[in-house]
């Protein structure tokens, strides 16, 4: 079946530094990848949608200059949290879909803690 | 606009009892509906989905859900709960080509 991986699975960084999270589709080409954020005991909130080779589309309220998304290939998207602050601590989940209307396959998530 | 409402943020059942997790949606067009399960510190796993056709959908791990258009509901059921079913469950709707909208989630606890 379709597998999506994320790296790292957890990361601790200091306030003010930047952190990059990778999302890879291992056995299919993902024309679109999605990035979600999940706070403890809450639902997933869509942050942005990225299509391979084009700029990401950010949801309202999400700072595009803070959460940099790159979808450079059909199997890799990256989310970089720039100048991280403690309030950015969260669980970040990506998903990938092979094409329009296709099912979304979710990664295992990345736990980010900013100290 | 589409939205999803999950009634009951926490549901507790005894092992072997019926599991019923409620989901209602609003959508201006026929939706695609999904149930996902999330175990602690993990991503989401698809349990089942409704796209078109038969309104009773069977999924993995013995779960099933019935799409009721007249009630705008897509409740998740399992005849007999198992301890391993304890997890967070999310109902989701997809109206556009790709974007999913999730409900707030229901934490299922299974009591021995």
pLDDT one-digit tens code per residue, B84-102: 999 999 999 987 666 788 9
Extended beta strands in B18-72, E state = 19-21, 24-26, 32-38, 44-50, 56-58, 64-68
- Alpha-carbon torsion (B101, A113, A27, B38), positive or negative: negative
CA distance B102 to B33: 10
Write out chain B residues lying below 8 Å of A93, CB-based: 43-44
Q: Return per-residue pLDDT of chain A as tens, 115 residues.
A: 789 999 999 999 999 999 999 999 999 999 899 999 998 878 889 999 998 888 899 999 999 999 999 988 999 999 999 999 999 999 999 999 987 777 889 999 999 999 9
Q: Which of B32, B36, B40, B98 to mutate to test the interface with A (most CBs of A within 10 A)?
A: B98
- Residues B77, B57 contacting (CB under 8 angstroms): no
Looking at residue B45, its pLDDT comes to 92
Cβ proximity of B101 and B93 under 8 Å: yes
Instruction: Note the pLDDT of residue B29.
Output: 74
Check: CB of residue A70 under 8 Å from CB of residue B8: no
**Residue B96, pLDDT score:** 67
Q: What is the pLDDT of residue B97?
A: 60
Beta-carbon-side half-sphere exposure of residue B93 (alpha carbons within 13 Å): 23
pLDDT confidence of residue B28: 72
What is the rounded distance in angstroms from the CA atom of residue B63 to the CA atom of residue B78?
5
Residues, chain A: 115
Q: Is the pLDDT of residue B70 over 80?
A: yes
Q: In this predicted model, what pLDDT tens digit does every residue of B32-67 receive, in sequence order? A: 999 999 998 788 999 999 988 888 999 999 999 999
**Chain A positions with Cβ closer than 8 Å to B:** 4, 6, 32, 34, 41-44, 46, 49, 91, 93, 95, 97, 100-104, 106-109, 111
Per-residue model confidence as pLDDT tens digits over B24-40: 998 777 789 999 999 98
Mutate to test the interface with B, among A1, A32, A104 (most CBs of B within 10 A): A104
Is the per-residue pLDDT at B20 higher than 80? yes
CB contact under 8 Å between B36 and A108, yes or no, is no
pLDDT of the residue at A52: 84
């Amino acid at each position: 079946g379709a597998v999506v991986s994320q790296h790292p699975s957890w990361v601790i960084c200091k306030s003010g530094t930047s952190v990059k999270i990778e999302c890879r589709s291992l056995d299919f080409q993902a024309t679109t990848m999605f990035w979600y954020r999940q706070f403890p005991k809450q639902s997933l909130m869509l942050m942005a949608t990225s299509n391979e080779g084009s700029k990401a589309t950010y949801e309202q309220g999400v700072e595009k200059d803070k959460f940099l998304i790159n979808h450079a290939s059909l199997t890799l998207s990256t989310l970089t949290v720039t100048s991280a602050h403690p309030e950015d601590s969260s669980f970040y989940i990506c998903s990938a879909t092979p094409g329009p209307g296709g099912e979304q396959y979710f990664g295992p998530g990345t736990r980010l803690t900013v100290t | 606009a589409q939205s999803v409402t999950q009634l009951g943020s926490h549901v507790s059942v005894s092992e072997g009892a019926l599991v019923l997790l409620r989901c209602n949606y609003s959508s201006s067009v026929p939706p695609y509906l999904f149930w996902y399960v999330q175990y602690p510190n993990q991503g989401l796993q698809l349990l089942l989905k409704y796209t078109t056709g038969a309104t009773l959908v069977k999924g993995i791990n013995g779960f099933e859900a019935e799409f009721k258009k007249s009630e705008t509901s897509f409740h998740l059921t399992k005849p007999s709960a198992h301890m391993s079913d304890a997890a967070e469950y999310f109902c989701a709707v997809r109206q556009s080509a790709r974007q999913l909208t999730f409900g707030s989630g229901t934490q299922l606890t299974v009591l021995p």
